[in-house]
Amino acid sequence: MTGKVWLVGAGPGDAGLFTLRGKEVLESADVVVYDALVGKSILNMIPERAELIFAGKRSGNHFLKQEETNRVLLEEARKGKNVVRLKGGDPFVFGRGGEELELLAEYEIPFEVVPGVTSAFAVPAYNGIPVTHRDFCSGVHIITGHRRRDHSYDIDFDALVRTRGTLIFLMGIAALPDICAGLLHAGMDPQTPSAVLEKGTTADQRRISAPLANLVKECKAQAVETPAIIVVGDVCALSEKFFWYEKKPLAGVRLIVTRPKESVSRLSGMLRQKGAEVWELPSIATEPLTNTTAFQKCLLEVAGGSYDWMVFTSPAGVRIFFDAFLEKQDARTLYRTRIAVIGRGTRNELGRYGLHADFVPSYYDGETLGKELAGHCKPGERVLISRAKNGNPALTVELNKVDGLKIKDLPIYETVYVKSRVIDERAAIEKHLIDFAVFTSASTVKGFVNSVGDIDYSGLKAICIGNQTAEEARKHNMKTYVAEKATLEALVDCVEKTAAELRLT
């Protein structure tokens, strides 16, 4: 059986610019062949089951030659696999997408193209540069600044100057002196506004603006790095009026979110809304323990009304318990059972099953939950705690202070450590690429350290949801900042406040 190839554009870097269709296709992939310029947050969307093949392709450095990449796509598809060729930007805008389809067409391999947001338009937009404006120009032209080795430029600079439109050069930083000289020699006004836009739509975004005649000198002085694009035209002058990305409170901040994969999206979305570049690097995952005799017996006991209280300490616990319970039992059997949860997130997860939490502590941690719930329990009542294996003992210590209270502490899942397959977290920390690591539990800290290994964490700033999480981070010499409340909203506020304070010092 022949497989199929999807040529997918990943956009310029910001995960929010990855298309819905691209994400849908990526989730069904058996094999992903990806480039170096694909955003880290997008790489983390690749399903665990998919085989990864790195095709490289950065300026002057190709891990796989183009012909080898073409052959890989063909061979994997002929094995009957769903193959996603994941490329930065748009695959048909100087992405050599057409070349990659030629071999597939020759061998009659089915394929589809999923366009991506091209950096030619997105990066100027993130820098406040509209590539067209009726008061300045009537057209825009995209030109490759890359030339084949030992070949001269095949660019008609005279024709480009005559268009009087916005000129956008992709992959042209190495050739910047030649491009500027070519335009000037063709008669372009030396004072024409121009800009080099470095690492657009990421936390490292930077704009170097100068008149065309001074652009090379200015870029050399500021040590411009790739990837970057060159924009030449009067619209560049609008950037000082229209820039907006830098105004976001977390613009320029890159951080790691370590929540489990199934729980990470809301927190990441809140941080991205404020301008942060978020790398979703779950450090823990949950593995259900629902096939045990003890768990199956407990389901029957709950349905029979054997417990006065059910206690949940995480959204994962709620999800795992009720997914199993509702397969065989009716939620109406719970009418006599009261439910306590550790915090807002767990309460919200409970609501997804049409259930209401009868008790939520004033502070969202195990010790407070135990202390305050103890005041609502009576001697002789039965309490079921459904949570992770090796859960925080503070909860049961406090509940055991109630004379005659019968407690069943049932492990329904265990926490396992996970590691990213596509991002070298250790290198990112050692190279100081990460501004903050955001931790929502002590377990996420442990999982993160387990993934990264034994390094110096003293330069890493840890944003922690509570004191127990911060205590774990301090064990590894991380600089800790604690949210005022154990909520995602307070956690995001802590990131924003800390970022602002550090920029002032």
Q: What is the number of alpha carbons within 13 Å of residue 47 lying toward its C-beta? A: 14
What is the 3-class SS of 180-204, one letter each residue?
A: HHHHHHCCCCCCCEEEEEECCCCCC
Contact 74, 99 (CB under 8 A): no
C-alpha distances in Å from residue 270, one per residue of 11, 12, 250, 264, 496? 21, 21, 11, 10, 11
Residue partners of 35: CB distance under 8 A and separation at least 6:
55, 56, 57, 86, 87, 88
Name, in order, each residue with C-beta under 8 angstroms of 309's C-beta and a sequence gap of 6 or more.
Answer: 337, 338, 339, 340, 373, 377, 381, 382, 383, 384
Q: Which residues contact 360 (CB under 8 A, 6 or more apart)?
A: 340, 341, 342, 343, 344, 347
Is 154 a known active-site residue?
no
Contact 33, 15 (CB under 8 A): no
| Alpha-carbon gap, residue 349 to 462, rounded angstroms | 26
Q: Could you tell me which residues are beta bridge partners of residue 323?
A: none
Range list of H helices, 363-477: 366-374, 394-399, 425-430, 442-452, 467-474
Q: Which of 35, 90, 365, 435 is catalytic?
A: 35
Active site residue 485: no
Q: Which two tokens stand for residue 198?
A: 């470095």
Q: Among residues 14, 30, 40, 57, which one is catalytic?
A: 57
Tokens of 434: 């990460």
Instruction: For the beta carbon of residue 391, count every other beta carbon within 10 angstroms.
Output: 20
Residues 6+ apart with CB under 8 A from 420: 44, 281, 451
Identity of the amino acid at 208: I
**Residues catalogued as catalytic:** 35, 57
